[in-house]
């Protein structure tokens, strides 16, 4: 058996096309252009690439993009003052502060300062609480953390229904594992949350119809951990060295082995990654619609 590839790039492209239509409808009906403000502190090269990608994709779907590049030694007071201005700016519907932040800045303090309705990264405790309280059938009418939302969308596009399926989420971070588990619970999955202290992870995994791996350990999930026909979402992004001195990105799943057993699987790269930025745009246009009191 060879698993079906879940093409994250194609799914993200389709999502961006739907967002562009939604943006155009908002402009036509209310004269509102959704605006995303991205704040980058310092010059981390990876963060600069992410911010550039976000900026281009924001403009491509017809939204306004506001980039704020601050010096690496920016004080917390100055950053909080900028966030207060963005909170008050009617042209800004979404605010994203690119993480990680330089050491003098406390991520939790910064995230707490963002208006929860503009927190398009879905990291504010108010939005984490809204997700924790969302019952099956409740609308997700608040920003949900982008990578977990991307995982959910890929699963919904891959499987006819998630109801009653056994799911395992490996990893319990606030950024990925916990929100993924909560989203799947809301979809009526029976969810096992595994972590570094879980016993016999392989056996837990083999019971699951859905495996979401969000660990950060290259190839940890072996092919013999996968139940035949299961759907595998590999969130991990790990850079590994090759014998020729080059490097390449791999996920947390032994892709070649899992491909032989799973029913469907995301590749790394090209799986969950592209969905993350698309979901950021999704959250921004949703925030803009919410502001005008529609949809
Ligand atoms: P964290 O380091 O915050 O969390 C990792 C989790 O994995 C922890 O809960 C940890 O358990 C668990 N873990 C570690 N070792 C084991 C093990 N041997 N067995 C079982 N569980 C283990 O990472 P993130 O959640 O932020 O990210 C996870 C991965 O996803 C990374 O590779 C990251 O790069 C990638 N990522 C990808 C994104 C994308 O867009 N595709 C976005 C965000 C992240 P414990 O709690 O017990 O320590």
Q: What is the pTM of this model?
A: 0.97
What CATH number does the domain located at 31-115 have? 3.40.50.10860
Contacts of range 27-30, beta carbons closer than 8 Å, 24 or more positions apart: 27/62, 29/294, 30/292, 30/294
Active site residue 121: yes
Contacts (Cβ under 8 Å, ≥6 apart) of 64: 33, 34, 35, 36, 58, 91
* pLDDT 10s digits, 94-121: 999 999 999 999 999 999 999 999 999 9
State the Cα–Cα distance between residues 279 and 286, nearest whole angstrom. Answer: 10
Active site residue 54: yes
The residues of the chain that CATH labels 3.40.50.10860 are: 31-115
What spacing in Å lies between the alpha carbon of 256 and ligand 1's midpoint?
Answer: 21
Helix (H, G, I), strand (E, B) or coil at 255: helix
Of 241, 229, 246, 235, nearest in space to 268 by CA:
235
For atom 3 of ligand 1, the residue with the nearest CA is: 173
Handedness of CA 119, 148, 288, 286 (dihedral sign): negative
**181, 233 Cβ separation under 8 angstroms:** no
* pLDDT 10s digits, 22-46: 999 999 999 999 999 999 999 999 9
State the Cα–Cα distance between residues 38 and 294, nearest whole angstrom. Answer: 25
The rounded percent of the chain whose pLDDT value lies above 70 is: 100
Q: How far is Cα of residue 201 from the mean position of the Cα atoms in its chain? A: 24
**17, 24 Cβ separation under 8 angstroms:** no
Confidence of residue 295 (pLDDT cuts 50, 70, 90): low
Q: What is the mean pLDDT of the chain?
A: 97
| Active-site residue, selected from the candidate residues 22, 57, 98, 119 | 98
* pLDDT 10s digits, 222-278: 999 999 999 999 999 999 999 999 999 999 999 999 999 999 999 999 999 999 999
* pLDDT 10s digits, 138-182: 999 999 999 999 999 999 999 999 999 999 999 999 999 999 999
* pLDDT 10s digits, 60-86: 999 999 999 999 999 999 999 999 999
Cβ–ligand 1 distance for 236 under 6 Å, the answer yes
The residues of the chain that CATH labels 3.40.50.720 are: 144-273
Topology of domain 144-273, CATH? Rossmann fold (3.40.50)
Q: Indicate the length of the chain as a whole number.
A: 295
């Amino acid at each position: 058996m060879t698993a079906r590839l879940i093409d994250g790039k194609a799914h993200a492209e389709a999502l961006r096309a739907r967002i562009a239509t939604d943006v155009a409808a908002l402009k036509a009906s209310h004269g509102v252009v959704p605006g995303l403000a991205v704040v980058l502190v310092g010059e981390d090269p990876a963060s600069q690439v992410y911010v550039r990608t976000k900026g281009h994709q924001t403009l491509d779907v017809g939204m306004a993009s506001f980039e704020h590049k601050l010096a690496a030694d920016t004080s917390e007071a100055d950053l909080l003052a900028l966030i207060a201005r963005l909170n008050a700016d009617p042209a800004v519907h979404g605010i994203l502060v690119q993480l990680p932040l330089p050491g003098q800045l406390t991520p939790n303090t910064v995230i707490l300062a963002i208006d929860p309705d503009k927190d398009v990264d879905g990291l504010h405790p108010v939005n984490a609480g809204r997700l924790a309280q969302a019952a099956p059938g409740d609308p997700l009418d608040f920003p949900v953390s982008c990578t977990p939302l991307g995982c959910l969308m890929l699963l919904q596009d891959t499987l006819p229904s998630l109801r009653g399926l056994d799911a395992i989420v490996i990893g319990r971070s606030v950024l990925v594992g916990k929100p993924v588990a909560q989203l799947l619970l809301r979809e009526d999955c029976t969810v096992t949350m595994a972590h570094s202290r879980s016993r016999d992870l392989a056996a837990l995994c083999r019971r699951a119809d859905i495996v979401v791996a969000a660990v950060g350990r290259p190839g940890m999930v072996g092919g013999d951990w996968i139940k035949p026909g299961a759907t595998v979402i590999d969130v991990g992004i790990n850079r590994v060295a090759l014998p020729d001195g080059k490097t390449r990105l791999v996920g947390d799943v032994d892709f070649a082995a899992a491909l032989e057993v799973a029913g469907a699987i995301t590749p790394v790269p090209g799986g969950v990654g592209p969905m993350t930025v698309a979901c950021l745009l999704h959250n921004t246009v949703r925030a803009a619609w919410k502001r005008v009191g529609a949809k």
